[in-house]
Amino acid sequence: MTKEERLKKRHQAEKRFRFYGITSIFVALLFVVILVQNIFSKGSSAFKKTVITTEVFFDQELLEIQNGASQEEIMDADFYDIMIENLIKAYPAKDRDEEDELLKLFSGDAEIEIKKAFLNDNNLIGKTITLDLTASDDIDQLHKGNYPRDLPEERRRISDFQLVIYDYFVENKKISKNFNNYFFNNGDSRDPELAGIGGALVGSFYSILICLLLAFPVAVLASIYLEEFAPKNKITDFIEININNLAAVPSIVYGLLALQILLATIQLPRSTPLVAGITLALMTLPRIIIPCRASLKAVPPSIREGALAVGASKFQSVFHHVVPLALPGTLSGTIIGLAQALGETAPLILIGMVAFVVDIPSSPVDPSSSLPVQVYLWSESAERGFVEKTSATIMMLLSFLIVMNFIAVYLRQKFEKRWN
Amino acid sequence: MSNVKIKSKNLNVYYGDKQALFDVNLDLNEKEVTALIGPSGCGKSTFIRCINRMNDVIDICKVTGNIEMDGININDKDLDVVSLRERVGMVFQKPNPFPKSIYDNISYGPKIHGKGETKSELDQIVENSLKKSALWEEVKDRLEEPGTSLSGGQQQRLCIARAISVNPEVILMDEPCSALDPIATAKIEELIDELKKTYTIVIVTHSMAQAVRVSQKTGFFHLGKLIEVGKTEKIFKNPDNKMTQDYITGRFG
C-alpha cells in the first residue's frame, strides 16, 4: 500500500466514524421528539376544560336561606333544586327523559359550582347571574375533538339528542374552553372532568421533602467520612462495593423492604408520603453517596496538603477547604438523585400509594397519591378523559424533572471552582 | 557558627513493602539553606515530608527512627502534628493556593492558630507576609481577587507567604521552582536568600545551579540513601563520593 492510499484510508475511517456518530445522535433526538410530541399532542388539551355558559336564577322558593346568609348556612344549604331548575332551562326539553339527558351534559359538581357563586356573593336571591358551569367528560372530549361523533348511536356514550343539544350550545356560543383550575386544585376523582393532580402534587412534594431531609445529611456525612477519614482497608472496600450494589438494586425491592419493615413491623400508616419518603430515601441514599464521593475525590490533593501544611487539622482541611469545593457537585448529585426519586413508581405502588385518594393530603401522614403513581392509575382508566389527563400529568412530571436537572447543571457550572 | 535545628537519626521510611529511605542521618542547620539533590524517586521529597509529618496522610507509609527538632523527637506518635506544622511550613512543587482570595489564602493559617484576633492584626500579618515574600507591591490593590488568578510565579510566592504567615521556624520547599519560568525562579531564589535570615530552609531541587546559588549545605540522595552531605561548595567542587561526582557532572540522573 502506498503512503497516499494509507492516508486516504485513515481519513475515510474518520469520516465513517463521524457519520455513525451523527446518525446515532440524530436517531436519539428523533425518539425524544416523537415522545415529546406524542405527550404534548395528547396532554395539552387537559389544561383547558369545557364550560357551558348557563343563566342561573336564585329562586327564594327553592332555597331555605336568605340573602346575607352566613358561610356555614350556605355550606349546609341544599342547592340541588336550584341547580335542576336552572339547568333544564338551558335547552327546551320536552319530557323527563330529555331533561335527564340534558342534565348529564353538566359535570357532577354543577351544584357545588352554583353554591360557590353564592358563597362569593350572598345577595343573589331573586337575581339572575351567568355562570360557566363545567361540562361533563363526554361533552368535554367531544368539544375538544377527541370524540368520534360519526359512530352509530348505540356505540356512543353520547345520545343523538345530546348531540343536538351540543350543536345548539355551539350555535348559540354557550360552550367554550376555560383554564382548567380543577386539574391543579382537585384530588383524584372518578369523573375525569373533575379529576386533578392537586393531591398527587402535594403527596409528591411531601415525599420528596422527607426523602431530602433523610437522605441528604446521611449521604453527605457518609461520603465525607468514607472519602476523607475512613482508613482504606477491606472493610471500607466492602462498604464501597455494597454502596455501588445498592445503587443498582431495582427500586421495587426497596418497596418490598418498606412493606415488610415500615408497614408490617413498625406499622406506619400506609399510602402516606411519610412512608413513601422513607422508602425513597433508602433508595436514593446510595445514588447520592456515589456523586458526593466523586465530587470529593475531584478536589485535588494539593488543596488538602496546602491546608494541612499550614497546620490545619484533618477536620479543618476537610470542612474549610474540601467540602466547600465539593459542594456544587454534591448538591447537583443530590438534586439528580431526588429527580430520580420523584419519578419512581414501583416502590410506591407496593406501599399502597395506588389507593384512590380524593382528598388533598394536609400532612405527610395523610393517605396520598404521587405524580408517577397518578400517571399509572389514570393510564389504567377506561374513560377517554383520563387519556389527556395522563399525558398532562406526565408533562408536569417531566417539567419538574427538567427544572431540577437544570438547577443541578446550573449549580455545577456556576459554583464549581476551577483550579490551575 | 550554625546550630543544628533538625537532626535525623537512622530514619527509615516504608511505603507498604517498599523501603523509600534507608538510615538517613542528616543535620540541618539553623538559619541556613540546605539543598537536597538527587535523581527522581531517590527519597528527597519523602525526607522533607517527614519533617512536617506530611507522610501521615499516606495510609501505607511507615516511618521509623528519630527526627529531632530542637532536641524533641517529632516522629513521636503522641506529638501533635498541628502544632508541628505551625512550626514547620511547606511550599509544594506545584503552586497550590486555595481557590479563595489572596487575603484569605494568607489569613487562613493565622486564623486557625488563633494569631491575629482582630481584623487589623490580621491585616498586618497579611501585609507582612506578602512583603516578606516580595509580593506585596504586586497585589496590594487586589487582595480580594482569587489567588488562582495570579501568574505561576506569583502563586508560588503567595504560597510562600502563606507558609510564612503562621511564623514558622522551618520552611520546607519541595522543588518550588520546577513549574516556573527562569524570571520567576530568579525571584524565588532571591526571596530564599532573604528568608534564610529568619528561617531554617530545606529545599529539594533538580537544578544543580539552583542548589549552588541558594544553599550553604547540600545533601545528595540516591535510591533512598543519603550518599554525601557537606558544605555546598565542597559538594560541587570536590565531592568525596564518586557517585556524587557523577551526578553533579551530569553523568547520570
Q: What is the pLDDT along chain A (420 residues), one digit of tens a residue?
A: 788 999 999 999 999 999 999 999 999 999 999 999 999 999 999 999 999 999 999 988 888 888 888 888 888 888 898 899 899 888 888 888 889 999 999 998 999 999 999 888 888 888 899 999 999 999 999 999 888 888 888 888 888 899 999 999 999 999 999 999 999 999 999 999 999 999 999 999 999 999 999 999 999 999 999 999 998 889 999 999 999 999 999 999 999 999 999 999 999 998 999 999 999 999 999 999 999 999 999 999 999 999 999 999 999 999 999 999 999 999 999 999 999 999 999 999 999 998 898 999 999 999 999 999 999 999 998 888 899 999 999 999 999 999 999 999 998 888 776 544
Beta bridge partners of B6: B28, B69
Q: Is residue B226 a part of any domain in this protein? A: yes
Q: What is the pLDDT at residue A417?
A: 62
Would you give the DSSP letter of residue A154?
G
Long-range contacts of A119-124 (CB under 8 A, 24+ apart): A119/A71, A119/A74, A119/A75, A122/A67, A122/A68, A122/A69, A122/A74, A123/A67, A123/A68, A124/A58, A124/A67
Q: Is residue B105 a part of any domain in this protein? A: no
CATH of the domain at B81: 3.40.50.300
Q: Does domain A198-415 have CATH number 1.10.3720.10?
A: yes
Q: What is the pLDDT at residue B2?
A: 67
Q: What is the pLDDT at residue A70?
A: 86
Cα A231 to the center of its chain, rounded Å: 43
Pairing mode, if any, of strands B217-222 and B33-37? parallel
B218 lies in which domain range?
4-97+170-248
Please tell me the distance in Å from B243's CA to the nearest CA on chain A. Answer: 33
DSSP result, B153-181: HHHHHHHHHHHHHT--SEEEEESTTTTS-
Cell numbers linked to B234: 565542597
A140, A49 contact by CB (below 8 A): yes
Residue span(s) of chain A under CATH 1.10.3720.10 come to 198-415
Output the CA torsion sign for A400, A403, A409, A412.
negative
Residues of chain A contacting B96 with CB distance shorter than 8 Å: 300, 302-303, 305-306
Residues A377-406: tens digit of each pLDDT: 999 988 888 999 999 999 999 999 999 999
Backbone angles phi, psi at A7, to 5 degrees: -60, -45
Provide the residue type at A23 as one letter.
Answer: T
- Whole-angstrom distance, CA of residue A80 vs CA of residue A86: 10
Angle between helices A385-415 and A371-379 (to 10 degrees): 150
Q: Is residue B223 a part of any domain in this protein? A: yes
Q: What's the whole-number mean pLDDT along residues B238-253?
A: 86
Count of domains forming chain B? 1
Asked whether the beta carbons of residue B96 and residue A300 sit closer than 8 angstroms, the reply is yes
Give the pLDDT band of residue B204 (cuts 50, 70, 90). very high
Q: Is residue B201 a part of any domain in this protein? A: yes
Q: What is the largest CA-CA distance in chain B?
A: 57
- Whole-angstrom distance, CA of residue B253 vs CA of residue B248: 9
By CB atoms closer than 10 A (0-12, 13-18, 19+), residue A10 is exposed
Cell numbers linked to A351: 406501599
Q: pTM (2 decimals)?
A: 0.86
- Whole-angstrom distance, CA of residue A352 vs CA of residue A275: 10
Cell numbers linked to A194: 373533575
Cα A166 to the center of its chain, rounded Å: 33
Beta bridge partners of B35: B203, B218
ipTM strictly over 0.95? Answer: no
Give the pLDDT band of residue B192 (cuts 50, 70, 90). very high
For A273-385, list the strands marked E by DSSP: none
| Side-chain half-sphere CA neighbours of B167 within 13 A | 11
Which among A343, A399, A335 is positioned nearest to A375, based on CA atoms?
A343
Per-window interface: B 68-127 vs A, CB < 8 A: 82-86, 89-90, 92, 94, 96-99, 108-109, 112-113
B85, A311 contact by CB (below 8 A): yes
Output the CA torsion sign for A349, A352, A357, A360.
negative
Q: Is residue B165 a part of any domain in this protein? A: no
Residues of chain B contacting A304 with CB distance shorter than 8 Å: 57
Residues A326-365: tens digit of each pLDDT: 999 999 999 999 999 999 999 999 999 988 989 999 999 9
Q: Is the pLDDT of residue B83 over 70?
A: yes
B46, B36 contact by CB (below 8 A): no
- Whole-angstrom distance, CA of residue A5 vs CA of residue A379: 59
Q: What is the pLDDT at residue A420?
A: 42
Residues of chain A contacting B84 with CB distance shorter than 8 Å: 311
Q: What is the pLDDT at residue A384?
A: 85
Q: Is residue B198 a part of any domain in this protein? A: yes
- Output the CA torsion A262→A268→A271→A277 (10° steps): -60
Nearest to B98 among A232, A303, A420 (CB): A303
Q: What's the whole-number mean pLDDT along residues B113-122?
A: 88
DSSP result, A236-257: HHHHHHHHHHHHHS-HHHHHHH
**Collapsing DSSP states into helix, strand and coil, what is residue A272?**
coil
**Collapsing DSSP states into helix, strand and coil, what is residue B25?**
strand
Residues of chain A contacting B97 with CB distance shorter than 8 Å: 306
Asked whether the beta carbons of residue A417 and residue B99 sit closer than 8 angstroms, the reply is yes
Q: Is residue B118 a part of any domain in this protein? A: no
Instruction: Describe the strand order of the beta sheet including B225-231 as a list of residue ranges.
Output: B88-91, B170-174, B200-204, B33-37, B217-222, B225-231
Q: Is the pLDDT of residue B132 over 90?
A: no
A158, A149 contact by CB (below 8 A): yes
- Whole-angstrom distance, CA of residue B143 vs CA of residue B34: 32
Size of interface A-B (CB pairs under 8 A): 70
Cell numbers linked to A17: 466514524
Angle between helices A323-342 and A385-415 (to 10 degrees): 170
Q: Is residue B152 a part of any domain in this protein? A: no
Q: Is B52 on the interface with A (CB under 8 A)?
A: yes
